[in-house]
Amino acid sequence: TQLLEQSPQFLSIQEGENLTVYCNSSSVFSSLQWYRQEPGEGPVLLVTVVTGGEVKKLKRLTFQFGDARKDSSLHITAAQPGDTGLYLCAGSSNYKLTFGKGTLLTVNP
Amino acid sequence: DSGVTQTPKHLITATGQRVTLRCSPRSGDLSVYWYQQSLDQGLQFLIQYYNGEERAKGNILERFSAQQFPDLHSELNLSSLELGDSALYFCASSAGTASGANVLTFGAGSRLTVL
> Between A43, A101, A102, which is nearest B106 by CB?
A43
**What's the whole-number mean pLDDT along residues A83-95?**
89
Whole-angstrom distance, CA of residue B85 vs CA of residue B81: 6
Based on the number of CB atoms within 10 Å of its own CB, is B86 exposed (0-12), middle (13-18) or buried (19 or more)? middle
Residues of B with CB under 8 A from a CB of A: 2, 4, 35, 41-45, 56, 58, 90, 92, 97-101, 103-109
pLDDT digits (tens, 9 = 90+) for A16-43: 999 999 999 998 888 899 999 998 899 9
Q: What is the pLDDT of residue A96?
A: 75
Mean pLDDT across chain B: 93
Whether the Cβ atoms of residue A97 and residue B106 lie closer than 8 Å to each other: no
Q: What is the pLDDT of residue B39?
A: 82
* pLDDT for residue B3 is more than 70: yes
> Between B2, B42, B105, which is nearest A99 by CB?
B42
Element holding A39 (H helix, E strand) = none
pLDDT tier for residue B87 given thresholds of 50, 70 and 90: very high
